[in-house]
Structure 1
């Protein structure tokens, strides 16, 4: 089968080549991939030396061509969205059935492919934050895929969202969702009940200072690639009894299938709208990866196979 293979070259991170078709285990379905999306975290992992046993690809959608031998999960012929740990940028992928959800009518593979990592992160971030209805919430680094989903879901849940984006253009859609969009933390009007911080560097300390007493900062990324440093003397002079929590969407006991099903249901009901900033054929993946790395794509980048 054809698959995208890592090169170790930052200028052209992947090339289209040949790979062995996966052989599903008892609890895995074989999926014919129709579309997949890219994530910035995958971009930076591709900068290292390539490993033949680790091909990229976490977000896919397509058709089950072979159901799991143990009888779990979707049947052959069903359309699905999946979140394998890797290997999804290929014509076929073997995916654990607890990482798959069946697509309802009206949700295309293209829209579904933009959901898994970003959508799961957003859904679980809000679950971690607890009830946000009526509360002021600050989201930094808001113009990527996660930011779009967090903003729409949080506004839909009744939160008063302030979203920080680099430019007005990148924040336009967030404003349409109902967020107040700013472009620098100095323009944020606190205090905030919850801060979701994903930039790192100086942003983390500045965002922490905007919390109300007993507020919570949830740290879930470092998009600037700059380490965050907190001066604890400043911390003590800041919001009383504030909490800083590290978050990663994988640190949950629940399997992905149920949350993937929740995401596609929200899309089908018109309550969640995948923002696709780039849609192209998978032969253009190397270019899309460079543009995603350099922030020339707002929202999600989706690549199609054989269309």
Structure 2
């Protein structure tokens, strides 16, 4: 079967690989679409013998099974994949494979991030790196839960959809955001994190869930006395649950009922995966990027 494989630092191509062989309690899925995440562009920069990329897929269980969305640890960018049954959720016909493929990593991150934050009803929330896939989901879910969201984006064009999804206001630099905020959701790192920290109210919470800038952050102890005294900083990683199936089912239900809208910033045939990865790496894609395998997707 064909799969997208690493061909060099940051580079990929299509190649023949061994056919998948399911183990106990595993399903074989014929892949119709997969999404690519910016973090995967970073993983591709390192030589990892035997490893293939791919976490987010949607397709059909072989031999007449249902349509499903699934979250894998790796190797999802292929014609067929194997996945434990507890890592999948069944798709209703109203949700396309393209929409579904955009759900797993970004959607799971958003749901679990807000779960970690606790009740946000009536709270002022600052979200950095807001124009990516996670940011769109967080904005819509947080606004629907009653939060007042300020989204940090690089331009009005990248923020327009966030306003439609419920963001109260946009900021084009963390320093320009009008605080104080009860909660900061920080995904950029570098200078963004200490700048965002100063926007917290006393006793507020900053949840650090990414470092998209790939730059280390430095914190000054005395900055806490400039406003966010007694603030709490939490580290977050989305892969915190023993099974993804229940949260995937929640995401599917929210999309099916019109309460969550995957932002498909790019849909291309999977033969262009390398070019899409370059655009994602260089921030030329807003929301999620999805690749299709050229079959009927409905």
TM-score, normalization by structure 2: 0.96
Aligned to 1:70: none
Q: Does the alignment pair 1:182 with 2:171?
A: yes
Aligned to 2:238: 249
Q: Is the contact between residue 7 and residue 50 of structure 1 (CA under 8 Å) also seen in structure 2?
A: no
Q: Is the contact between residue 175 and residue 196 of structure 2 (CA under 8 Å) also seen in structure 1?
A: no
What's the offset of the Cα at 1:182? 1.3
Aligned to 1:35: 33
**What is the RMSD of the two structures over their aligned residues, measured on CA atoms?**
1.1
Partners of 2:177 and 2:155 lie apart in 1 by 15
Q: Is the contact between residue 37 and residue 302 of structure 1 (CA under 8 Å) also seen in structure 2?
A: yes
What's the offset of the Cα at 1:181? 1.1
Q: Is the contact between residue 28 and residue 82 of structure 2 (CA under 8 Å) also seen in structure 1?
A: yes
What's the offset of the Cα at 1:237? 4.0
Q: How many aligned residue pairs are there? A: 294
What's the offset of the Cα at 1:77? 1.7
Structure 1 segments (4+ residues) deviating >6 Å: none
Partners of 1:9 and 1:158 lie apart in 2 by 44
Q: Is the contact between residue 224 and residue 230 of structure 2 (CA under 8 Å) also seen in structure 1?
A: no
1:234 aligned to which of 223, 226, 233: 223
What's the offset of the Cα at 1:50? 4.2
Aligned to 1:62: 59
* Deviation larger for 28-37 or 234-243: 234-243
Aligned to 2:3: 3
Q: Is the contact between residue 108 and residue 248 of structure 2 (CA under 8 Å) also seen in structure 1?
A: yes
Aligned to 2:153: 165
Per-residue CA deviations over 1:240-270 (Å, capped at 9, x if unaligned) read 2110000001123x41000000001100000
Partners of 2:174 and 2:15 lie apart in 1 by 45
